[in-house]
Amino acid sequence: MRYECIVHAELQGVAEVWGPAENGEDSEKVLRHLDEWILSRNPDIVHINCGLHDLKRPGGSDRPTVSIERYRANVRTILERIQKGAHSLLIWTTTTPVNELWHKQRKGFERAEGDVVLYNRMAVEVAEELRVEIDDLYSVVMQAGRDRYLNEDGVHFTPAGSYLLGKAVAGCIRMYLEKLDPSLKAVERSVYSR
């Protein structure tokens, strides 16, 4: 959500970018709103992710909000429903890294970097099985220097981090738009990005 405005700016005149005003939170909520947020709109491209809210561990709990098994099933259902219900090019986005020490010091719940890696691996396996494109934002942040771009809460991004992510997402979407239609520079398309 914090870098959506950058995606809008980068794709102005090329694509109409839309995402829900409210936080998509976990995969359970995304499933509940899939028709409203995506399928009823039938965008040309769907750039989607969920994960950070799935893997968070409420205060004192050793269990994530959504278990890895349930997350895997939810991601599969989300991707399959989009593939069947929309005529969209579908891109799954990996979950961005966290600094669990910073997060633990400032939040009333935990997120573990190991969980980010595990949930990403599961989601990418499902996406690859379904032949869904991947936008690896986790690697973008890690290669740029995670702690240079993370806010002090260990999960959200500084303005520079949001800019980095917005540029990466816009670049990914632009690349796929041009593959759909090389003459796209003069045509505006519809894109769902979350």
The rounded distance, in Å, linking the Cα atoms of 166 and 8 is 9
**pLDDT for res 61:** 86
92: helix, strand or coil: strand
**pLDDT for res 194:** 57
* pLDDT tens track for 121-158: 999 999 999 999 999 999 999 999 999 999 999 999 99
pLDDT higher than 70, residue 182: no
Closest listed residue to residue 121, CA positions, set 108, 105, 134, 140: 134
Domain boundaries, the chain: 4-193
Q: How many CB atoms lie within 10 A of CB 180?
A: 12
Q: Average pLDDT in the 106-111 region?
A: 89
* pLDDT tens track for 41-81: 989 999 999 999 999 998 778 899 999 999 999 999 999 99
CATH number for region 4-193: 3.40.50.1110
